[in-house]
Amino acid sequence: MMMKMVLRRILIGIGTLWVVSVLVFIGTSILPGDVAQIILGQSATPETLAALRAELGMDRPWFVRYFDWLGNLVTGDLGTSKAGGASISSLIAGRLGNTMFLAGIVAAISIPISVALGLLAAMYPGTWLDRIVTFATLSLISVPEFFIATFMVLILAVQLHWLPAIAYLSGNESGWQLARALAMPVITLVIVVSAQMIRMTRAGILNVMNSPYIEMAILKGVPRRRIILRHALFNAIGPIVNVIALNLAYLVSGVVIVETIFAYPGLAKLMIDGVQTRDLPLVQACAIIFCATYVVLILIADIASILSNPRLRQPK
């Protein structure tokens, strides 16, 4: 029963990945119209256009191109960039590492902080601690990432001169330099992601707190800490794991802004540059990587919540 559900989820995940590939392909290869025209601009002659179309394979029907592209994608060939004709795989390689490094640090810091603060706020609802946490996180999730980033720069770099405003990694910084360079993007992302996670953890727990079995626990004289950690948390694990995975996925959009504002050499920055120069093959490749990561994370969240349900783990 449980295996069946997990398998079903995985199949749906694969299906979603496929639909995503179609969407990305349509978005970047069909909707824009004549890519050759875009590349060569208005001044191109019909001959050069035709030549480029043939070179790009644009003269073939769209579904042939799609399956060609999909085949290459699956074997790891992401095509060539318009700019300078470099292989996209090589462009992406280093950038992907940087982005994953950033996301990894953010996750490692924000997950424990958020779950702890969320639990604490749920444990003492209505107190000052809870009110401050709720108001602060509500405000933080209401503003765009660049709002937080801008204020971080204002406070930490401009006013206090503690940190540099821009992160540039050359690849051979000392540990201290690296830490200083990363500090600003990391802090910004941690704030953005944690605010969401704290709220959702708190809401997840309080949602369970409405159940009659929590009232029963109170009437059995069970202490507050045990009610939260044993009675509520065990029922909220599914939702909380879900929250964590969702927010890691949410990091995907966070890095887009943060990498841009701090000039951090990650994949998102590469993609934005690609969009600005309408380098469609590059955008295509980056979009596929981001979307696939997102879909996989959500899939993990789904599976985690199935696994945490005792009704499914212990069949009748």
Partner 1 sequence: MEKLLEIKDLKIEARREDGTPIPIVKGVSFDVHKGQVVALIGESGSGKTTISLSALAYTKPGLEFAGGEVRLHGEDLLTAEPLRQRDLRGRKVAYLAQSAAATFNPAITIGEQVTESAVLHGILTQDEANARAERLYRSLELPDPDRIGNRYPHQVSGGQLQRLMAAMALCGKPDLMVLDEPTTALDVTTQIEVLKAFKKVIHEENAAAIYVTHDLAVVAQIADYIVVLYGGEVMEQGSAEQIINNPGHAYTRKLMEAVRPKPAAGLGTVVTGEHDRDIAALVVKDMSAGYGRKLNGEPAVTVLRDINVKVENGHVVGVIGESGCGKSTLARVMAGLLPQAAGEVVLDGENLEADLQDRSRDELRKVQFVYQMADTALNPRQRIDDIIGRPLEFYHGVKGRERQQRVQEILEMVELPAEFGARYPAELSGGQKQRINLARSLAASPEVLLCDEVTSALDSIVGANVIKLLNNLKDKTGVSFVFISHDLSTVASFADEIVVLYAGRVVEQGPTDQVLTPPYHPYTRLLISSVPELRIGWLEDTVELREMAVGIAKGVEITDVGCPFYNRCPSAIEGTCDITDAPVRQLAEGHEIACHLDVSDLQLKISHEASAG
Partner 2 sequence: MNESNIKGEDIVERLDRFDELPDAPPRKRIKLSWVGKLAALVVAAWLVIVAIGPSIAPFHQMDFAGDDGFLPGDGEFLLGTDYLGRDTFSRILWGARTTIGISLLSTLGAYLIGITLGIAAAVRGGWTDTIISRINDAILSLPTIMLGLIAIAAFGSSIPILIIMAAVIYATSVFRIARALALDIMVQDFVESARARGEGTWWIVTREILPNAAMPLATDFGLRLVFVVLFISSLSFLGLGVQPPTADWGSMVRENLQGLPYGSYASIWPAVAIGSFTIAINLIVDDVSAESGGSLARKMV
Question: Mask 165-194, x = binds partner 2 (CB under 8 A)?
Answer: x-----------------------------
Residue of 75, 107, 88 whose CA lies nearest to 192: 107
Q: Considering CB distances under 5 to 8 angstroms, the limit depending on partner class, which of partner 2, partner 1, none binds residue 230?
A: partner 1
Q: Give the dihedral of Cα atoms 103, 105, 110, 116; nearest 10 deg.
A: 140
**CB of 266 vs partner 1, minimal distance in Å:** 40
Q: Considering CB distances under 5 to 8 angstroms, the limit depending on partner class, which of partner 1, partner 2, none binds residue 235?
A: partner 1
Answer yes or no: are the C-beta atoms of 89 and 77 closer than 8 Å: yes
Q: What CA–CA distance (Å, rounded) separates 66 from 38?
A: 19
Q: In Å, how far are 129, 239, 247, 267 from 252, measured between CA atoms? A: 30, 20, 9, 10
Among 2, 5, 6, 27, the residue binding partner 2 under the rule CB under 8 A is: 27
5 belongs to the binding site for partner 1 (CB under 8 A): no
> Could you identify the residue written with the tokens 């809401």?
203
86 belongs to the binding site for partner 2 (CB under 8 A): no
Contacts of 60 (CB under 8 A, 6+ apart): none
Residue of 271, 276, 243, 278 whose CA lies nearest to 257: 271
Q: Considering CB distances under 5 to 8 angstroms, the limit depending on partner class, which of partner 2, partner 1, none binds residue 62?
A: none
The single-letter code of the amino acid at 21 is S
Among 10, 223, 229, 313, the residue binding partner 2 under the rule CB under 8 A is: 223
4 belongs to the binding site for partner 1 (CB under 8 A): no
8 belongs to the binding site for partner 1 (CB under 8 A): no
Using CB under 8 A as the binding criterion, the count of chain residues that bind partner 2 stands at 64
> Interaction with partner 2 in 125-164: which residues (CB under 8 A)?
125-126, 138-139, 141-147, 150-151, 153-154, 157-158
Q: Give the dihedral of Cα atoms 187, 193, 194, 196; nearest 10 deg.
A: 150
Among 87, 215, 230, 313, the residue binding partner 2 under the rule CB under 8 A is: 215
> Interaction with partner 2 in 251-270: which residues (CB under 8 A)?
252-253, 256-257, 260-261
Structure-block tokens of residue 291:
């979307």
**CB-based burial label for 309 (10 Å; 0-12, 13-18, 19+):** middle
The single-letter code of the amino acid at 210 is N
Contacts of 74 (CB under 8 A, 6+ apart): none
Structure-block tokens of residue 315:
């069949």
**CB of 53 vs partner 2, minimal distance in Å:** 18
Q: Considering CB distances under 5 to 8 angstroms, the limit depending on partner class, which of partner 1, partner 2, none binds residue 234?
A: partner 1
Q: In Å, how far are 47, 119, 260 from 179, measured between CA atoms? A: 53, 30, 18
Task: Tell me which stretch binds partner 2 (CB under 8 A): 46-54, 57-65, 168-176, 209-217.
Answer: 209-217
287 belongs to the binding site for partner 1 (CB under 8 A): no
Using CB under 8 A as the criterion, which residues of the chain lie in contact with partner 1 when the complex forms?
211-213, 215-223, 226, 230-231, 234-235, 310-311, 314, 316
Using CB under 8 A as the criterion, which residues of the chain lie in contact with partner 2 when the complex forms?
15-16, 19-20, 23-24, 27-28, 31-32, 122-123, 125-126, 138-139, 141-147, 150-151, 153-154, 157-158, 165, 206-210, 214-215, 218, 223-224, 227-228, 249-250, 252-253, 256-257, 260-261, 271-272, 274-276, 278, 280, 283, 287, 290-291, 294-295, 298
